[in-house]
């Protein structure tokens, strides 16, 4: 049975056209959907009854079933598991920001992922399917509805399950809803799309969503090494990806975030730091924009051969970078006791049985 369009995925102008109502009513109804939990049962005085009825007839408000919400005991992360209408499972993480009362919501864009990064739990699942626009939007809508009073969703990061640039059409549509003032009203500069490196998608993101930030997962920058961690290197070598990232930076004038997942004995020695520093400096000199470098201590993923870099190795790596003129931040990756940390989202089992899973790194 055709359920009709999912109303939470529509902008006011789209809703107005679909239902044949005035834009002012559409805006108010979009606001009801996103900020008051759904369409009102009775028509409030600000909205015409005929408009509400028309919207009810025009589409549906499907939702995701919350099957688990787990608060970390180590830190104030909350990991959500949702079930889609076709019985699949997807994960979302609420991440507290440094400034109290603000959260970033880490959303998934696919169920599983085809890119198969060796250090990532989602990558071990393979791709099950793309998420629909409404399924991406709904993750934020549901998590935001449960925020403690007086707090707010400050940003969104596409760093959950899946490669967002492989589902870009829907990701762009979701970004439009996220940033629409009458819907989720998230400042686009606080939305980050993280990719393992799909050049065409990076260029399209620069054209169609230039004020959204770009994150790039590196794994390793040394020739012959990156491929072992990130098979996408075979299709799109890092040099090609960095050309696209350079074009993105020139077009948007915003600095990309480079994410470097630290793996003991694999990419955390002096040689790796040297190569990373050289790559970053070459990029900065060539493009005139300096990437922000985030080092991510790897979180254990069951069934993979990796180990997390020791704290001493991480500190030495940072010193080696600094000696070559490159600053870095260590991304605090919390929630590891509920598999909410980077690299740990994988809904192959219930959270209660999940040993150590996977987030897009």
Q: Which stretch binds ligand SF4 (CB under 6 A): 58-66, 118-126, 181-189, 238-246?
A: 118-126
Does 215 contact ligand SF4 by CB under 6 A?
no
CB of 360 to ligand SF4, least distance (A): 3
Q: Rounded to whole angstroms, how far apart are CA atoms 122 and 361?
A: 10
Alpha helix stretches (DSSP H) within 168-219: 168-179, 199-208
Q: Of 59 and 197, which CB lies nearer to ligand SF4 in the complex structure?
A: 197
CA-based R_g, the chain, Å:
21
Give 31-35's long-range contacts (Cβ < 8 A, gap of 24+).
31/182, 31/183, 33/7, 33/8, 33/61, 33/183, 34/8, 34/141, 34/177, 34/182, 34/183, 34/184
**Closer to ligand SF4 at the Cβ: 7 or 245?**
245
User: 113 catalytic, yes or no?
Assistant: no
* Shortest CB 216 distance to ligand SF4, Å: 11
User: Contact between 15 and ligand SF4 (CB under 6 A)?
Assistant: no
User: Active-site residue 91, yes or no?
Assistant: yes
Which residues pair with residue 93 across a beta bridge? Answer: 79, 106
218 binds ligand SF4 (CB under 6 A): no
User: Can residue 111 be called a binding residue for ligand SF4 (CB under 6 A)?
Assistant: no
Contact 131, 108 (CB under 8 A): yes
What's 76's DSSP letter? S
Give yes or no for residue 177 binding ligand SF4 (CB under 6 A). Answer: no
339 binds ligand SF4 (CB under 6 A): no
Q: Which residues of 167-202 are buried (b: 16+ CB within 10 A; e: fewer)?
A: bbebbbbbbbbbbbebbbebebebbbbbbbbbbebb
CB of 163 to ligand SF4, least distance (A): 4
Contact predicate 63/138, CB 8 Å: yes
Our finding on whether 163 is near ligand SF4 (CB under 6 A) is yes
Q: Which stretch binds ligand SF4 (CB under 6 A): 32-40, 79-87, 109-117, 316-324?
A: 109-117
Tell the smallest beta-carbon distance from residue 341 to ligand SF4 (Å): 13
Residue 120 engages ligand SF4 in binding (rule: CB under 6 A):
yes
CB 139 within 8 A of CB 132: no
Does 196 sit near ligand SF4 (CB under 6 A)?
Answer: yes
Query: 32, 89, 91, 106: which is the annotated catalytic residue?
Result: 91
- Select which of 32, 106, 194, 342 is catalytic: 342
- Enzyme catalytic residues: 91, 342
Kindly list the residues in this chain that would bind ligand SF4 in the complex (CB under 6 A). Answer: 113, 115-117, 120, 122-123, 162-163, 196, 217, 360-361
């Amino acid at each position: 049975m055709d359920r009709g369009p999912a109303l939470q995925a529509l902008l006011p102008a789209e809703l107005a056209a679909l239902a044949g109502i005035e834009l002012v009513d559409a805006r108010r109804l979009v606001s009801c959907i996103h900020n008051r939990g759904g369409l009102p049962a009775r028509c409030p005085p600000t909205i015409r009854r005929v408009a509400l009825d028309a919207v009810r007839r025009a589409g549906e408000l499907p939702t995701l079933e919350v099957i688990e919400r787990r608060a970390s005991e180590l830190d104030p992360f909350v990991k959500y598991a949702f079930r889609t209408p076709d019985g699949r499972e997807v994960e979302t993480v609420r991440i507290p920001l440094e400034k109290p009362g603000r959260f970033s919501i880490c959303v998934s864009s696919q169920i599983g992922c085809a890119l198969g990064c060796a250090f990532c739990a989602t990558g071990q699942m393979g791709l099950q399917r793309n998420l629909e626009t409404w399924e991406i939007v709904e993750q934020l809508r549901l998590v935001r509805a449960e925020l403690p009073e007086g707090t707010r969703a400050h940003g969104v990061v596409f760093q959950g399950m899946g490669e967002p640039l492989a589902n870009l059409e829907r990701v762009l549509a979701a970004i439009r809803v996220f940033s629409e003032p009458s819907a989720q009203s998230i400042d686009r500069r606080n939305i980050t799309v993280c990719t393992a490196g799909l050049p065409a998608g990076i260029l399209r993101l620069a054209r169609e969503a230039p004020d959204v930030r770009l994150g790039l997962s590196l794994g390793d920058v040394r020739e012959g090494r990156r491929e072992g961690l990130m098979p996408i290197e075979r299709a799109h070598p890092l040099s090609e990806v960095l050309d696209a990232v350079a074009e993105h930076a020139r077009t948007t004038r915003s600095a990309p975030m480079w994410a470097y997942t630290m793996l003991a004995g694999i990419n955390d020695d002096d040689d790796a730091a040297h190569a990373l520093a050289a790559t970053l400096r070459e990029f900065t000199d060539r493009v005139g924009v300096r990437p922000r470098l985030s080092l991510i201590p790897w979180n254990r993923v069951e069934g993979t051969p990796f180990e997390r870099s020791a704290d001493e190795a991480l500190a030495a790596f940072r010193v080696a970078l600094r000696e070559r003129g490159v600053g870095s931040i260590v991304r605090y990756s919390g929630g590891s006791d509920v598999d909410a940390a980077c690299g740990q989202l994988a809904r192959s089992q219930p959270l209660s049985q999940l040993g150590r899973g996977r987030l897009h790194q």
